[in-house]
Amino acid sequence: MELSLEEKAGQLIMTYFHGETANEEAKTLIQDTKIGGIIYYTWSNGLTSPKQVKTLSEKLQEFALTNPNPIPLLIATDQETGIVNRLKEGFTLFPGNRAVGEIKDAKIAETIGLYVGRELKNVGINMNLAPVVDVNNNPKNPVIGVRSFGEDPELVSLLGQGALNGYKKANVIATLKHFPGHGDTTTDSHENLPIVHKSQEELEKVELSPFKALAPSAQAIMTAHILTAFDSQHCATISKSTLDYLRETIGFQGVIVSDSLVMEGLLKQCQTIDEAAIRSLNAGCDLLLLGGRLLSGERKNELSVADIQRVHRSIIAAVESGRISEERINQAVERVLNLKTQIDCHENDFSLKDHQNFAQKVASLALKTIKNDKKLIASLHEKSIAIVAPHILQQDIQKTHFLEAGKQVDLHGFNPTNVDLEKIKQDTQNADVIFIFSYNAWKTPSQAALIQSLIDTNKPVALFVVKDPIDASLFPNANLILNTFDPTFFSIQAIYNFLYQLKGPEKKTDSSSCFSITKNSL
């Protein structure tokens, strides 16, 4: 297949568009700019049901396959499980990696990868930007945390391999992230440029260990916008020495995907997205992710079609001027096209009910009892219970049986960063028992003050730690402390099941299918 320079440059771009249907914006990107991939976000594409997503995927592929050179799209999303899930309505929200890490069973990781992959593939998503294989050896990491399987590199490798095996069985492309390892940082690369203060030898023992172990099985690896011992001047995404290590020392021959080029960690070094794209390609990235983002409800660095077209033209101009060699552009295109030959979207048969039952089983296995005063949970049905939880958890709590847990149950929500302490103390003063859900209290002083204040009332208090496990060590005087390592529905239900020994709810199955892309499509 002979591709023009414009087509080659387009194939190296994965980006998003605004719309729940395959609209003119999408058509322009796919048929005029010839982009190679689409990434779905809830805020840009709705993702309101499996049927909506499936129809969207099919129409987008129709745009691509009616081009003069009919090359199928990579259609991707971030369905990591746990706290990062783009697809929610009609999909199974499995407990996240850290919960799986507590169980330490590669077969469970594999089954989750298989089940997530099945659900993605049947709505036309052929690539998942998962699993996360960062070793979270900093308990106060602001961006990885429970997205990681844990702090042991061997365990991360074991469970990462399980996840890869599951995605392979589902015929969905998996993406290891974030090379060379984002686990020991104190800065979120969405907001600034993190630095890992370790020697190369130290990195090789911990951070790099999963990537070395898993590279032979991986089809794609995503970079991190972090500074390491490989290159003190350039973050990994634009560091040739760092990505050469991945290619030459580790021996990875698949597609290197950049993390989103709109993130502040990278733009601190590149100033413009156009410059970031050029430098990422020259460093060794093959597929450039132009993702948008939402911070605090405000859209920041969000790209328009014109912005994406400008980046596309900048890549072309860089090749024409010799700043990017034709050899480098051809090498990247060849890898991307080879990845696309591996796309297989044959219809999957599965039971959503089975997936959800398995998710509940995983959540229950992961639940850890830190402290258990059995007197607190005796005869709960006869007691007045006040449930105190961050607003973000309230909807899932209401879906469980928690509101039927006592003779009277009141749910009180709060904003973790700005708690109305006096109001909650007043609202809970008549309760016999207080249930508190903590959501990273270690980094929100007002939430920590709330929890301690309620414990100091000397009422019986149950503390449910649903995100970073460090919270469990901060409030030793709670009567009951349970750690879920995950804040999603099934983990909250697992707490209820533990307290009341009840089975989790059943839900209806929603199955769908997607078309097939074969090697002959290229």
Is the CB of residue 371 less than 8 Å from the CB of residue 479?
yes
Asked, for residue 187, whether it belongs to a domain, the answer is: yes
Q: Are residues 381 and 339 in the same domain?
A: no
Q: How many CA atoms lie within 13 A of 389 on its CB side?
A: 24
DSSP collapsed to 3 states, 240-305: HHHHHHHHHHCCCCCEEECCCCCCHHHHHHHCCHHHHHHHHHHHCCCEEEECCCEECCEECCCCCH
List Cα–Cα distances, 60 to 36, 220, 303, 335, in angstroms. 11, 22, 19, 22
Asked, for residue 493, whether it belongs to a domain, the answer is: no
Mean local confidence (pLDDT), 146-163? 97
Q: Are residues 517 and 454 in the same domain?
A: no
**Confidence at residue 310, expressed as pLDDT on a 0 to 100 scale:** 96
In this structure, the dihedral spanned by the alpha carbons of residues 353, 354, 357 and 359, taken in order and rounded to 10 degrees, is -110
Q: Are residues 330 and 198 in the same domain?
A: yes
Q: Are residues 330 and 377 in the same domain?
A: no
Catalytic member of 184, 259, 396, 471:
259
Q: Are residues 215 and 275 in the same domain?
A: yes
Reported confidence tier of residue 190, pLDDT bands at 50, 70, 90: confident
Asked, for residue 153, whether it belongs to a domain, the answer is: yes
Interatomic CA distance for residues 273 and 314, integer angstroms: 10
Q: Are residues 312 and 418 in the same domain?
A: no
Beta bridge partners of 85: 79
Q: Are residues 12 and 61 in the same domain?
A: yes
Q: Are residues 346 and 386 in the same domain?
A: no
Please indicate whether residue 190 is annotated as part of the active site. yes
Domain of 315, CATH number, reads: 3.20.20.300
Interatomic CA distance for residues 464 and 453, integer angstroms: 16
Reported confidence tier of residue 299, pLDDT bands at 50, 70, 90: low
Averaged pLDDT score across all residues of the chain: 92
Which of 4-18, 261-275, 315-329, 498-512 has the least mean pLDDT? 498-512
Phi, psi for residue 462 in degrees, rounded to 5: -105, 125
% of the chain beyond a pLDDT of 90: 83
Nearest partner of 74 among 331, 342, 340, 257, judged by Cα: 340
Asked, for residue 491, whether it belongs to a domain, the answer is: no
**Confidence at residue 300, expressed as pLDDT on a 0 to 100 scale:** 62
Catalytic member of 134, 178, 184, 190:
190
Interatomic CA distance for residues 115 and 388, integer angstroms: 33
Total domain count, the chain: 2
Given a cut of 60, is residue 295 above it in pLDDT?
A: no
264-283 pLDDT, tens digit per residue, is 888 888 989 999 999 999 99
Asked, for residue 473, whether it belongs to a domain, the answer is: yes
Which of 127-136, 205-214, 291-300, 310-319 has the least mean pLDDT? 291-300
82-139 pLDDT, tens digit per residue, is 999 999 999 999 999 999 999 999 999 999 999 999 999 999 999 999 999 999 999 8
Beta bridge partners of 120: none
Q: Which long-range contacts (CB under 8 A, 24 or more apart) does 315-319 make?
A: 315/9, 315/12, 315/13, 315/277, 315/278, 315/281, 316/5, 316/6, 316/9, 318/278, 318/281, 319/5, 319/9
Reported confidence tier of residue 373, pLDDT bands at 50, 70, 90: confident
Interatomic CA distance for residues 397 and 199, integer angstroms: 45
Given a cut of 50, is residue 70 above it in pLDDT?
A: yes
Interatomic CA distance for residues 349 and 364, integer angstroms: 26
**Confidence at residue 187, expressed as pLDDT on a 0 to 100 scale:** 73
- For residue 13, give both structure tokens: 């771009």
Is the CB of residue 377 less than 8 Å from the CB of residue 495?
no
Domain of 451, CATH number, reads: 3.40.50.1700
At residue 413's C-alpha, the angle toward residues 409 and 418, to 5°, is: 150
**Can you give the residue range of the structural domain that contains 345?**
5-353+511-521
Q: Are residues 376 and 457 in the same domain?
A: yes
Q: Are residues 325 and 396 in the same domain?
A: no
Q: Is the pTM of this model over 0.85?
A: yes
9-51 pLDDT, tens digit per residue, is 999 999 999 999 999 999 999 999 999 999 999 999 999 999 9
- For residue 224, give both structure tokens: 């991190």
Asked, for residue 498, whether it belongs to a domain, the answer is: no
CB crowding 193-205: b at 16 or more within 10 Å, else e: bbebebeeeebbe
Asked, for residue 363, whether it belongs to a domain, the answer is: no
Is the CB of residue 465 less than 8 Å from the CB of residue 482?
yes
Is the CB of residue 155 less than 8 Å from the CB of residue 133?
no
Q: How many CA atoms lie within 13 A of 192 on its CB side?
A: 6
Q: Are residues 200 and 116 in the same domain?
A: yes
- In sequence order, the 6+-apart residues with CB closer than 8 A to the CB of 289 are 14, 15, 39, 222, 257, 258, 259, 260, 261
Higher pLDDT, 53 or 141: 53
Q: Are residues 348 and 383 in the same domain?
A: no
Given a cut of 90, is residue 320 above it in pLDDT?
A: yes
Asked, for residue 251, whether it belongs to a domain, the answer is: yes
Is the CB of residue 460 less than 8 Å from the CB of residue 431?
no
Interatomic CA distance for residues 363 and 28, integer angstroms: 43
Given a cut of 70, is residue 444 above it in pLDDT?
A: yes
Given a cut of 80, is residue 395 above it in pLDDT?
A: yes
In this structure, the dihedral spanned by the alpha carbons of residues 451, 456, 461 and 464, taken in order and rounded to 10 degrees, is 20
Reported confidence tier of residue 202, pLDDT bands at 50, 70, 90: very high
